[in-house]
Structure formats: structure tokens, C-alpha cells
Amino acid sequence: MGMGAAALATLMLTSPGARAATSAAAVAPAGNPAPQPSATPVPSASPVSSASATPSGSATPPTPSATASPSASPTPPAGARMHTYSYGPHPRQIMDVWWHPTGPRRPAVFVVHGGWWSGGDKKYMTSVTRYYVQQGYTVVNLDYRLSGDAPWPAQRTDVLSAVAAVRRHPALFNTDPGRYVLLGFSAGGHLAAAVGTYGDGRPGLRGVVGISPPVSPLSAYEDGTAFGTYEQRKLRRAAVRLAGGCSPARCPRVWSSMEVPFHATPHDAPMLAVHSADEFVPPYQSEVLRESLENVGVPMTVKTMAGTFHSAPLYREPGVAETVRAWIAARLAQPAR
């Protein structure tokens, strides 16, 4: 993956809490209270800054760890900057941070790509990222370890770690650590919702948006029998790979940890999910999550569009991107809780 010269800096997450979160392979089964995080993943080093921006405090920026042709990196809109940073030692633990160096501190949008948990890349989210940068936000477009790299919960831990890395350096990125949302597509929507229900509320998280999010891997497993469609059978296999190759019967605690509706708590952030009525990730998955959240007093909106479009093609349907933009703007305008 190409990156601009001096663009890749290290934010190595070596704290014991981060490692503990990575190795925790399971949480309480269905019906038990949602697990509390043992520690919020935080970076132990600062990112390297641009020529005119430096982090506050006494942290020492490390030297860049890789260089590449500048043309390989996306070009940010006028007045904005973009660097690619590492938030962990794995090659997939990288993120593009787009920010506005001047003006008031901006709220942030974290974009999480899809790809069956086993593929995909942040480069496919560049147009969405650029759009929200143009709206005035700090935007973080992140990669994460795939199911072939590490089983669950590594993917959730990576999103938590990327969020923690950016929130740790508000001065560097001119961002408000108390105002951010997560925007995930397909499998990335599952990860965004899983982060949104991790513990009893995430500091600063104002909302979670999922476009075709498979928030109920157990439902996907049941739908993907021999009688399901090709996509449903593929999603079932993908969920099994995410669980480390283990079925729900053999590894119920792992599947319980993956099942977002099991972990709704009163301080979770509000959510928005968008599905097509007849896509292979059906709206009822998010409707189950909505019921779980509303039972603890957290609002969730499930918007259903006609047709079969999934993920990015659904997002491009008339009115969907506009609905998401307006919802995000309203959530980020909310006062601190």
C-alpha cells in the first residue's frame, strides 16, 4: 500500500491494557451484562507531526517508519492535510488521518471499510472520506486486522485502538476528542456497532452509523444454510472464519462476544442503520439491535430502502448519503453527555 514520503509514523500500542484487549477471545454469554473493558487501548508514543503542527505535551514523536512515492497517497482538499499513521505493529494497523490545521477543533468521523471481515481496504473509502473532510470534519479512514490475520476480537480492538490514538492527540489533529462518530460499511458496520456497545458507553462517541451492518452473526449463521442464497452462505462462512473457524455450538462465548445485540447498555451511543429490504444482510438484524438498545433507553433508527443493494451501492442510492450526513451532523452538534 503506497504512502506519501514521511507519511507513515508509528503509534505503537504496547500498553498492557491494549494487549489484554487483543487477547480476550470471549465475553459473557447471552443474557449476562455486557463486559467492561479491562483498559482502553492507548498509544504509548506520539505520531510524527507535519512541518507546522506538533502535539501538545511532552511526548516525543518517533521517526517515520516508511516512505513511498507521494503520488501514491490521496490528495486532501484545499486547506486540509492527510498523513498515514500506524496505530500498532501489524501492517494492517494503519489509518489515514485527514484534518484541518486551522480554525476551531473539529469533531471526527471514523470510517470503517467492509469486506466480509476477511478483505477490503481503506482505499475504497477514499471518496466517502473526502466528502466528510469537505464538510469540515476530521476524518480517520482506517484498516484493521482481517480474520485471516487474527480472530475476533482483534478487529474490534483495532477500531478501539485507532480511536484512542487520535483522541490522544487532539492538538496535533485539531480535533475535539469529545465528539466523534463511527461510520461502517457492511462488516465495518458490525465493527462500528460492536465498538459502540463495548462496555457501558465509549468516551466521546456521539453516534454509530452502519450501512448494511451484519450486527447479528448468529442470524447470519442461521440464514446461511444450504437453503440460503450464495451471499448468505458466504456470510455464514465469513462469520465462522471471524470466530477462528469455530461454530456457535463449539464456541458459544466467542459468538456471544460477536453478537452486538447482546451487549446493549444504557450509556451506548445512538445508532443509525440502513439496509435494503431484500439484501442478504436483512433489516431484521438491525431491528433486533434496535429493540435491545431501546430496552435500555438508547435510540436507534433503522432505515429500509427498496431493492437488494448492499453496502456502498446502497449508500449511493438517492437520499441515503444525505440521510447519513444529516444524522451525523445532528449527533455531532449535541452537547457533551
The domain spans of the chain are: 80-332
Which pLDDT value is given to residue 334? 77
- The whole-number average pLDDT for the span 278-297 is 98
**pTM for the whole thing?**
0.82
> Which residues are CB-neighbours of 82 under 8 A, at least 6 positions away?
4, 7, 73, 74, 75, 76, 96, 97, 98, 99
Which pLDDT value is given to residue 124? 98
Best CATH choice for the domain 80-332 from the list 3.40.50.1820, 3.40.1710.10, 3.40.190.80, 3.40.50.300: 3.40.50.1820
> Which residues are CB-neighbours of 116 under 8 A, at least 6 positions away?
186, 187, 234, 235, 238
- The whole-number average pLDDT for the span 154-180 is 98
pLDDT over threshold 70, residue 291 = yes
Cα separation, 106 vs 136, whole angstroms: 7
Ramachandran angles phi, psi of 178, nearest 5°: -95, 5
pLDDT over threshold 70, residue 258 = yes
% helix, strand, coil for the chain, step of 5: 35, 15, 50
The band of 28, judged by pLDDT with boundaries at 50, 70 and 90, is very low
The 3-state DSSP class for residue 223 equals helix
- The whole-number average pLDDT for the span 67-83 is 72
The secondary structure element, H or E, covering residue 180 is strand 175-185
Which pLDDT value is given to residue 11? 42
β-partners of residue 302 are 273
Neighbour-count burial of 18, counting CB atoms closer than 10 A to its CB (0-12 exposed, 13-18 middle, 19+ buried):
buried
Which pLDDT value is given to residue 337? 56
pLDDT digits 0-9 by tens, 201-245: 999 999 999 999 999 999 999 999 999 999 999 999 999 999 999
- The whole-number average pLDDT for the span 8-35 is 35
pLDDT over threshold 90, residue 180 = yes
Contact 15, 151 (CB under 8 A): no
pLDDT over threshold 80, residue 35 = no
Which pLDDT value is given to residue 335? 66
Which pLDDT value is given to residue 178? 97
Instruction: Write down the mean pLDDT value for the chain.
Output: 84
- The sign of the CA dihedral 229, 233, 236, 242 is negative
Q: How many CB atoms lie within 10 A of CB 263?
A: 26
Which pLDDT value is given to residue 317? 98
> Which residues are CB-neighbours of 321 under 8 A, at least 6 positions away?
131, 315
Which pLDDT value is given to residue 296? 98
